[in-house]
Amino acid sequence: MDYLEIRKNAYIDILEISSKKTVVSLWGRVPWEIVESFSYQSVYSYGIDKEVTKGYEDNNYCDMLNSSFAYLELKKCPFMYASSFFIVDDYCKSRYENLRKKTDKEVYIYKNNDYKSLINYLEEKSKTKFNKVKFEELVNKSKEISKLIVALRSCKIPNQRIYEVEYFSKFIFDMDKKIEFIKKHIDDSKEEKSIAKVQAGAGIYKKIGQLINEGYFCEGEYQKIYTTNSFDFIKEKYGKFDLEADYIIHNCSQIEIENKEIAY
Phi-psi region of 175 (alpha: psi -120 to 50; beta: other; left: phi over 0): alpha
Question: All domains of the chain, ordered by start, with CATH?
Answer: 4-126 (3.40.50.11890), 135-262 (no CATH)
* CA-closest candidate to residue 45, choices 67, 31, 26, 17: 26
Q: How high is the pLDDT of residue 218?
A: 83
Q: How high is the pLDDT of residue 153?
A: 95
Within 10 angstroms of residue 193's Cβ, the number of other Cβ atoms is 15
pLDDT in tens, the chain (264 residues): 667 788 889 999 999 999 999 999 999 999 999 999 999 999 998 887 777 888 888 888 888 898 899 999 989 899 999 999 999 999 899 999 999 999 999 999 999 999 999 999 999 999 999 999 999 999 999 999 999 999 999 999 999 899 999 988 999 999 999 999 999 999 999 999 888 888 887 677 888 888 988 877 887 788 999 999 999 999 999 987 667 888 888 888 888 888 788 876
CA-to-CA distance for 89 and 237, rounded, in angstroms?
14
Q: Cβ distance 33 to 87 under 8 Å?
A: no
CA-to-CA distance for 51 and 46, rounded, in angstroms?
14
How far is CA 175 from each of CA 34, 172, 178, rounded to the nearest angstrom? 14, 7, 5
The sign one gets for the Cα dihedral 7, 217, 98, 105 is positive
SS (H, E, C) 59-90: CCCCHHHHHHHHHHHCCCCHHHHHEEEEEEEC
Angle between the N-to-C axes of helices 132-153 and 230-238, in degrees from 0 to 180, rounded to the nearest 10: 50
Q: How high is the pLDDT of residue 70?
A: 93
Torsion (CA) 223, 22, 71, 208 in degrees, nearest 10: 10
Residues 6+ apart with CB under 8 A from 194: 210, 211
Q: How high is the pLDDT of residue 220?
A: 74
In terms of DSSP bridges, do strands 211-213 and 195-197 run parallel, antiparallel, or are they unpaired?
parallel
Q: Cβ distance 73 to 14 under 8 Å?
A: no
* CA-closest candidate to residue 187, choices 203, 165, 202, 220: 165
* CA-closest candidate to residue 27, choices 76, 75, 85, 78: 85
Q: Cβ distance 117 to 54 under 8 Å?
A: no
Burial profile 25-48: b = 16 or more Cβ within 10 angstroms, e = fewer:
bbbbbbbbbbbbbbebbbbbbbbb
